[in-house]
């Protein structure tokens, strides 16, 4: 590991401490042409925007060419206003756009035999490893990959190699890795290291990118009241930095509740969540905490669509969040070629359903009740519920309303994982 910073208290590392640590690290890695691959605006609270800004100015001041390639995955591109908000004064002309369908080169495959071994035989097909062509451009003599390690529904703990193979990866890796996770079972993986999907990325990183000059800059953050606290920064090219960040994130980003939640209310900041594709983190991250027969209410004033692009949006509207068993049945049907051609969407439909175990109510302003109910959610008036469950007045965690109703309130689902201690066996790895 080349840099390990841990906060001494809950207030987190100061910007000055982060800057000093980064400047020391970067001084040991001189470069003339640098590619920075940070997360996009949907990871606003990662502190990666600040880190990217520090890295950009360090190398630009030395006359290096610095390009920024946000790890979009299948998300919409970062707008100029979003870039300014998250990344500061970096010129927008320095930002490149990743096209996951057309901008990639194939590096090889993760073999089917290996996949069968790591998935207990649930997946035996090889997966192509594709990545944005710029990552393989040898004119870049340094590639920096900032990002946040946090519990994740597809891989277990987000970031590191995922930031590359999904964030700037190609269609097959994005789709297949999501489907592998969905079939294996996200409740077996969330909050854990060494999951099947993580092993896929470890395999690809070790075999196909071992000669590229990649340095990971991994944060662990929380954001009480929307104020980012950076509890750690771990930098290096290997797995040591990842494992240190995972250990800290498991302490900071996993909250155990003492009993199953009967009613959980989650707020989606409209600046960050504009689709159910992103907003369903409210489902993923709370499903292990909600009691059988419970209710999840999602306050989503900014959600105006289902998918992040038109093709995925159409698939969600067509099939809906109909449960794991039904989605797998559709996925295997010859009549659903469109679903098999977009495994990422199929996996997303599995992830976004409670499988009938608890109800999911979306309160939105910009999608009709009929459309919400058409994808198998309940619908409610956003204005009415925002008044009843005012995010400005509720405290994180348990709240008792004036009429005696008890709820559990989560102001941002992207920053953690919530688990009913009584249902969770074996802790986290």
What confidence category does residue 424 fall into, taking pLDDT thresholds of 50, 70 and 90? low
Query: Which residues fall within 8 angstroms of residue 176, CB to CB, at 6 or more apart?
Result: 125, 127, 343
Residues 374 and 372: their CA atoms lie apart, in Å, by 5
At which of 230, 252, 274 does a domain end?
A: 252
User: Both 227 and 341 in a single domain?
Assistant: no
At which of 199, 231, 252 does a domain end?
A: 252
User: Both 80 and 144 in a single domain?
Assistant: yes
Which CATH number do you get for residue 176? Answer: 3.40.50.11440
User: Quick check: 428 pLDDT over 60?
Assistant: no
Query: Residue 427's pLDDT is what?
Result: 52
Query: Residue 22's pLDDT is what?
Result: 97
User: Both 322 and 354 in a single domain?
Assistant: yes
Which CATH number do you get for residue 379? Answer: 3.90.226.30
| Residue 353 domain flag | yes
Query: Residue 73's pLDDT is what?
Result: 84
Residues 267 and 273: their CA atoms lie apart, in Å, by 10
273-284 pLDDT per residue, tens: 999 999 999 999
DSSP bridge partners of 407: 399
Nearest Cα to 282, choosing from 391, 164, 382, 153?
153
What confidence category does residue 226 fall into, taking pLDDT thresholds of 50, 70 and 90? confident
Query: Which residues fall within 8 angstroms of residue 119, CB to CB, at 6 or more apart?
Result: 180, 183, 184, 196
Given a contact cutoff of 8 angstroms between Cβ atoms, the answer to whether 75 and 308 are in contact is yes
| Count of the separate structural domains present in the chain | 2
Distances in Å between the alpha carbon of 299 and those of 167, 278, 280, 325, 382?
27, 13, 11, 27, 7
323-369 pLDDT per residue, tens: 999 999 999 999 999 998 888 899 999 999 999 999 999 999 999 99
DSSP bridge partners of 284: none
User: Both 169 and 192 in a single domain?
Assistant: yes
Query: Residue 344's pLDDT is what?
Result: 86
User: Quick check: 286 pLDDT over 70?
Assistant: yes
Given a contact cutoff of 8 angstroms between Cβ atoms, the answer to whether 54 and 13 are in contact is no
Beta strand 261-267 with 406-410 is parallel
At which of 232, 252, 272 does a domain end?
A: 252
Query: Residue 241's pLDDT is what?
Result: 96
H or E element, residue 409:
strand 406-410
DSSP bridge partners of 144: 36, 215
Q: If you write DSSP's letter for every residue of 321-371 in order, what string do you get?
A: S--HHHHHHHHT-GGGHHHHT-HHHHHHHHHT--TTSSEEEEEESSS-HHH
Across 380-401, average pLDDT: 96
Query: Residue 224's pLDDT is what?
Result: 84
User: Both 59 and 161 in a single domain?
Assistant: yes
Given a contact cutoff of 8 angstroms between Cβ atoms, the answer to whether 59 and 31 are in contact is yes
- H helices of 166-218, in order, are 171-184, 196-208
| Residue 271 domain flag | yes
What is the SS3 assignment for 160?
coil
Across 96-104, average pLDDT: 90
User: Both 233 and 296 in a single domain?
Assistant: no
User: Both 81 and 33 in a single domain?
Assistant: yes
142-197 pLDDT per residue, tens: 999 999 999 998 999 999 999 999 999 998 999 899 999 999 988 899 999 999 99
| Residue 126 domain flag | yes
pTM given for the model:
0.87
User: Both 247 and 345 in a single domain?
Assistant: no
User: Both 230 and 272 in a single domain?
Assistant: no
| Residue 17 domain flag | yes
| Residue 425 domain flag | no
User: Both 156 and 288 in a single domain?
Assistant: no
User: Both 194 and 247 in a single domain?
Assistant: yes
Residues 188 and 352: their CA atoms lie apart, in Å, by 16
34-43 pLDDT per residue, tens: 999 999 988 8
Domain that holds residue 352: 256-420
User: Both 144 and 283 in a single domain?
Assistant: no
DSSP bridge partners of 236: 216
Q: What percent of the chain has pLDDT over 90?
A: 86
């Amino acid at each position: 590991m080349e840099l390990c910073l841990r906060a001494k208290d809950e207030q987190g590392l100061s910007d000055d401490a982060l800057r000093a640590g980064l400047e020391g690290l970067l001084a040991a890695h001189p470069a003339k042409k640098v590619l920075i691959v940070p997360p996009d605006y949907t990871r606003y609270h990662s502190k990666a925007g600040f880190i990217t800004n520090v890295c950009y100015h360090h190398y630009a001041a030395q006359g290096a060419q610095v390009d920024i390639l946000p790890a979009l995955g299948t998300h919409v591109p970062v707008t100029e206003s979003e870039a300014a908000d998250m990344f500061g004064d970096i010129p927008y002309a320095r930002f490149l756009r990743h096209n996951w369908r057309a901008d990639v080169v194939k590096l090889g495959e993760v073999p089917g035999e290996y996949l069968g071994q790591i998935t207990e035989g649930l997946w035996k097909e090889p997966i192509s490893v594709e990545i944005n062509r710029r990552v393989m451009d040898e004119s870049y003599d340094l590639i920096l990959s900032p990002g946040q390690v946090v519990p994740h529904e597809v891989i277990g703990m987000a970031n590191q190699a995922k930031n590359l193979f999904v964030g700037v990866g190609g269609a097959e890796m994005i789709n297949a890795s999501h489907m592998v996770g969905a079939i294996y079972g996200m409740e077996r993986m969330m909050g854990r290291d060494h999951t099947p999907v993580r092993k896929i990325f470890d395999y690809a990183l070790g075999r196909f990118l071992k000669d590229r000059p990649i340095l990971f800059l991994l944060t662990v953050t929380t954001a009480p009241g929307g104020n980012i606290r950076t509890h750690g920064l771990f930098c290096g090219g290997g797995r040591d930095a990842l494992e240190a960040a995972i250990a800290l994130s498991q302490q900071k980003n996993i909250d155990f509740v003492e009993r199953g939640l009967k009613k959980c209310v989650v707020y989606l900041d409209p600046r960050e969540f504009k689709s159910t594709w992103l907003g369903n983190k409210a489902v993923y991250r709370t499903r292990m905490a909600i009691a059988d027969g419970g209710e999840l209410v999602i306050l989503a004033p900014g959600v105006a669509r289902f998918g992040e692009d038109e093709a995925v949006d159409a698939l969600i509207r067509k099939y809906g969040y109909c449960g794991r068993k039904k989605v797998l049945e559709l996925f295997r049907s010859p009549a659903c070629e469109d679903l098999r051609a977009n495994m990422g969407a199929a996996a997303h439909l599995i992830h976004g359903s409670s499988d009938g175990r608890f109800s999911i109510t979306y309160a939105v302003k910009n999608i009709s009740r009929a459309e919400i109910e058409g994808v198998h959610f309940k619908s409610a008036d956003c204005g009415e519920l925002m008044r009843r469950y005012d995010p400005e007045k509720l405290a994180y965690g348990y709240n008792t309303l004036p009429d005696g109703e008890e709820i559990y309130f989560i102001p941002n689902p992207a920053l953690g994982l919530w688990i009913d201690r009584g249902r969770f066996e074996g802790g986290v790895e």
